[in-house]
Amino acid sequence: MNKIIKGKYLIDGNGNKPKENSAVIIENGKIKDITDANNLPKEGYEILDYPNATIMPGLIEVHTHMHVSPEPGNYEAALNDSDTVLAIRATDAVRKTLMSGVTTMRDIGSKNHIAFPIRDAVNAGIIPGPRILLAGQVITTTAGHCNYFGTEADTLDEAVTAARANIKLGAEWIKIMSTGGGFTPRSNMRAAQFPAETLKAVVDDAIRLGGRVCSHAHGTIGVENCVKAGMHNIIHCTWLAEDPDKMFDYKENVADQIVEKGIYVDATVATGYMRTFRDPDFNEEQARMFRDPGERASILQDMRKRGVKFVSGIDSGMLYVRFGDIAYTPERMVDVIGMGNMEAIVACTKTSAECLDVDNETGTIDKGKSADIIIVDGNPNDDIKALHNISTVMLRGNIVKEDGKELI
């Protein structure tokens, strides 16, 4: 049945002030109109009224690993679990992601390509989950970051072939590891894994085949190589110095190039923060560092002032980063990057949809777009933490969670 959703406030995702006493008219899974709640059709619609809540576009999560357990022992599980166990875990992960208010997710690294049948099962209505975009297996070097759920490639030709293999399976995205990372012992977060020429070859060939490319980059050399390659999306962008005696090596001119080239940045600002209140082995000094990241916060704030476009990645599946944790991303965008509440909301909806190239379909509440809508108790424009209180979730016009109760 066609629906009308009424709420105290409506946030459309375009950065406008919340509208009061508004309603969204939904027909055949799409948004037909946004109108005054006092001027509604008299019949033909089911009216859903949330008088103390805010209507918003569904959140978008650009950085998940659906097959990885976020609990202690996750590295060993990623190495040793069977494909059957990985698929069962991924089934649970996409459901939790949807119920947390995420109506579109991108998975950027799954072992043995198990994400493809999971996406097919979601699309067929066999299991619940959000709209899913995939990268398949990551591309890394021999012994490189996430080699245990990636394709190892050491030459330019091998990297391009690995990218083509993922696109052949149906990936919209390619993920390539520009540097090492913390989830892979000895992979070296500060050093480059691929030269810029290899990254550019992968980007150019992916574009030829209708795909896009994102890259994990902790070290500054890796960030620079991504920018030279014309990467669509840089993950982490941590600016770690090559010199192990230094922490950061931030380069303002490279940040300006990120802006000029329109590269989106997923700074994963909430990922380490999750451990401060979930990891029993964290001491107070470690927790303080993650809660107040100091120089990194200053770097991110400078990037924001320069015009860098940040998107909403939390790296779901990493230790203590669970698949219902999306609300911590806008919260930390406000606390760490210095965004205003509405700016963070737009980053997690419209801007992330633009990054994923699905903004014609979703990301805002506008006429003709998919009815991907969440209901938030309270007003996140006043208090960004209200996004932890998502009571109702609608995907393509179908309510999957209502007043806190999961319906599917």
Residues 281 and 174 in one domain: yes
Whether pLDDT at 1 is above 90: no
CA 138, chain centre distance (Å): 16
CATH label of the domain that carries residue 37: 2.30.40.10
Q: What percent of the chain has pLDDT over 90?
A: 93
CA 341 vs CA 11, 321, 354: distances in Å: 12, 22, 19
Euclidean distance between CA atoms 71 and 75, whole angstroms: 9
Residues 199 and 326 in one domain: yes
Residues 378 and 321 in one domain: no
Euclidean distance between CA atoms 346 and 15, whole angstroms: 6
How many residues are present in the chain? 408
What backbone phi and psi angles, to 5 degrees, belong to 209? -95, 10
Whether pLDDT at 188 is above 80: yes
What domain count does the chain have?
2
Residues 42 and 148 in one domain: no
Instruction: State which of 356, 379, 397 marks the end of a domain.
Output: 356
Residues 80 and 40 in one domain: no
Residues 258 and 239 in one domain: yes
pLDDT digits (tens, 9 = 90+) for 211-265: 999 999 999 999 999 999 999 999 999 999 999 999 999 999 999 999 999 999 9
Whether pLDDT at 141 is above 80: yes
Residues 41 and 165 in one domain: no
Q: Print the domain residue range for 397.
A: 3-57+364-406
Whether pLDDT at 62 is above 90: yes
3-class secondary-structure state, position 128 = coil
Euclidean distance between CA atoms 30 and 28, whole angstroms: 6
Structure tokens, 114: 């198990």
Euclidean distance between CA atoms 391 and 376, whole angstroms: 6
Residues 197 and 226 in one domain: yes
Euclidean distance between CA atoms 144 and 88, whole angstroms: 27
Residues 370 and 240 in one domain: no
Look at the alpha carbons of 85, 408, 14, 382 in this order and tell me if their dihedral is positive or negative.
Answer: negative
Residue with tokens 């303002």: 252
Residues 180 and 107 in one domain: yes
pLDDT in the model for residue 292: 87
Strands (E), 282-407: 309-310, 373-377, 390-395, 398-402, 405-406
pLDDT tier at 14, thresholds 50, 70, 90: very high
CATH label of the domain that carries residue 305: 3.20.20.140
Residues 34 and 145 in one domain: no
CA 273 vs CA 28, 109, 193, 382, 386: distances in Å: 40, 22, 27, 23, 18
